[in-house]
Each structure stands twice: as C-alpha cells, then as structure tokens.
Structure 1
C-alpha cells in the first residue's frame, strides 16, 4: 500500500526530467498520474516508464499550460476519466537565456506564459474540484534564481519570483478549503534544460512529502533539497 493510494496527481512538464521522475515516483506510491506536456511522444515515453516500473496506466493529456482553453479542456477530461484531482505538480518550465536588454517582448512573454501563467491557469481550473472535495495539495517548482536573480536569465528569474508570490497568495486564500500550496526548490537537476546536476529521481521523496501533508500541515512555505 503506497502513501498516495486512491489519489490522483496531475503533473505538468511530465515528458522529461523532474516531471517524468515525479510521475514514476507518485505512481510507485499508488497514485493515478495524469501526464501533461506539449510533446505527446515524450509523454508516451513517460507513460511507458510508469507502466514498466509500477504496472499502472498513466493518463496522457497533451497540453500547453499557457493556453487557457487547452487547460480547461484537460482538467475537464481528467475529472471525467479519473473522477477527482487531489494533487497538482506545476513543473512545466521554459529556461532560456536573455538579459533585459537582449530579450524581445515575445521571448519575455513566452517564458512568463509557461513559467507563471501556466501554474495560475492550471491551479485556477482545478480549484473548484479541490474546494468541493475540501482537499488539495499543490506543489510549485521554483528556483534560487527567484530571489537572487541571475544575469542573463531575466525572464525566468522574474517568472519564478512571481510564482513564489502567487504560491503564498494561494496558500492564504485556500487553506480554509483544505488546500495546501507549497514551493519546492530542487536545486540543479540533470534534465533537458541543464546538462549537469543531480538525477531528478533523488529529489522525488521531497515531492512525496509535500503531496502527502496532513490536514492543517504547512502551507505557503518553500522546501529546498538538502
């Protein structure tokens, strides 16, 4: 019996990296996982890994989280096919370099759309179901760049800072409905976005902890690996 038995977890950016590792880890603990991402082939690879390692069938919903209609359609489909959504892992991200002087408006908007607006849209779409259930665990992936900035990564740093503020706001708004909203900073991971760093699987126990917080547990906080 896993600690996430009978829970449904929706994971954005599930096709690679931390999203894939988390999908496998959550399913290993008994969760039904719903995989979101823009590249269907990558989602299918994750679903195959989940099946191989856990025997569970993942639900694939190809989604651009920055597109509100796609997000609404995805959440509707997830609720229809799984009956509930207990956990959101807002992991989808775009990590592109660019100083304030160099970035075009479109490049700026693209990173803000995925890294900040995406979590807003996905969370907003799921909140009514979580409120009705009086239960929800929302995990937003952040970065040290959110507070110290980083020359050359203006849009990413600003988006993550915004996400941290959004998380604290949501925590304040939703705690009375049994919904806990927290941040997780995994540090540098070896993914498509970064060639060096830790294996993403190393940090998934922390995500399990945040996904299984008890009633009245911490909310609006940030947990960092190590």
Structure 2
C-alpha cells in the first residue's frame, strides 16, 4: 500500500509544473486527487497523465483560487464526490516581476489575491471537513524570496512572506484538531514560471512525506528541498 492509500488530496495549480508532478506522485502513492486550476485544458492534460501512470481517475474542478464563491463550490464538489478531504497542497501561484515603484495597485492585488488570499480561502473552506474528521495535512508552497526578498519581485515576495506567517498561525490554531500545517520550499523548478531549474518530479517525495505525517507530527515548520 502507498503512503497515501485511501487519502483524498486537493492540489491547486494542478495544470502544470509542480502541481502536475505532485498530482501524479500523490496518485501513485495511493491518493485520490482533486485538480484545481483556472485552465481546464491543462487540468485535463494532468488528469490524463494521472490516468496513464496510475490508472486513477482524477477529479477536475476548474477554479480561480482567488474567487471565494468558486473555492467554496469546488470544495463542496470534492466533498460530495469523495466524502472527505485529507490533504491540500496550496501550490497555485503567479510569479510576475515588478518593483514597488513600477507595480500598479491592480498588479499588486492580483498577485496577493492568488499567492496569499487563495491559500487562505482554500484552507478556510477545507477546515470544517478536516476538523470533523480530526485529521488534515495542509502544505503551503513557499520560496526563499519570502525572507530575503528580491529586487523586482515585490508582490510575490511579500505574498510568500505572508503565507509563511499564515502557516504558522494555522499550525497553532489547528493542531488540537489533528491538522498539521507546514511549508515547503522546493527551490528553483523548471516550470511555466521559470525556464531553468530542477524537474518538479524530483521534489515530490518531500511533499508525500509532509502529506503522510503521523499523528502528532511536526507542524508550523518549513522544509526545503535538499
């Protein structure tokens, strides 16, 4: 049996990159996977890859994670389909350049909405089901830019710093309910957002370990690849 046998895992940003790699790896480890993303065609490509590699049928839910109504409907649909949610990987992100002086208010708000508000909305939506089950594993994808910043990436860096603080807060609030909340920094990956870096599949074993932590396992921590 795989490390995630009979678990249900939601993965945001599942259409490409780390989200796609995680979806395949989680299904290979025995999980039923729910794919969230804005581009249905990309989600369908991921679902096909999951089916070809594992024989499992992934649930596709086209969702803008920054839209609260869409998030709530997606989580409700996932619960109707599988009757539970055990794991969520908050991976959806936009990585767009812009200095503080250059960024428009709308550009700033868009990156905060997807990179920080999105994980907040998804987590808020899954918490009632996780609390009821007295079990949950939440993994938030972060970046080294959260603590050292980077000239030209003001909104992304600020959003990831906020996500790290949110993660530690959630860990404190939810541990008594059997819910573990951790951060994962994969380093530079070769994805649509970045032309060079590691193959995302290389880091997915770390995600599986965080997704399958035992009761009383670490929470509020940050794990980095390598």
TM-score, normalised via structure 1 length? 1.00
Which residue number in structure 2 is paired with residue 131 of structure 1?
A: 131
Which residue number in structure 1 is paired with residue 118 of structure 2?
A: 118
Q: Cα RMSD between the aligned structures?
A: 0.2
How many equivalent residue pairs?
Answer: 226
| Deviation readout 1:163-194 (Å, 9 max, x if unpaired) | 00000000000000000000000000000000
Which residue number in structure 2 is paired with residue 153 of structure 1?
A: 153
**Which segments of 5 or more consecutive residues in structure 2 lack a partner in the other structure?**
none
Which residue number in structure 2 is paired with residue 31 of structure 1?
A: 31
Distance in structure 2 (CA, Å) of the matches to 1:47 and 1:180: 27
Which residue number in structure 2 is paired with residue 64 of structure 1?
A: 64
Distance in structure 2 (CA, Å) of the matches to 1:185 and 1:5: 25
In the alignment, does 2:207 pair up with 1:207? yes
**Which segments of 5 or more consecutive residues in structure 1 lack a partner in the other structure?**
none
SS of 1:96's equivalent?
coil
Distance in structure 1 (CA, Å) of the matches to 2:117 and 2:209: 25
In the alignment, does 2:13 pair up with 1:16? no
| Deviation readout 1:57-97 (Å, 9 max, x if unpaired) | 00000000000000000000000001100000000000000
Distance in structure 1 (CA, Å) of the matches to 2:76 and 2:224: 32
TM-score, normalised via structure 2 length? 1.00
Distance in structure 1 (CA, Å) of the matches to 2:2 and 2:176: 27
Runs of 4+ in 1 over 3 A off after TM superposition: none
In the alignment, does 2:175 pair up with 1:175? yes
SS of 2:61's equivalent?
strand
Which residue number in structure 2 is paired with residue 93 of structure 1?
A: 93
Query: What is the Cα deviation at residue 3 of structure 1?
Result: 1.1
SS of 1:77's equivalent?
helix
- Give matches, 1:191-206, under 5 Å: 191-206=191-206
SS of 1:53's equivalent?
helix
Distance in structure 1 (CA, Å) of the matches to 2:95 and 2:138: 22
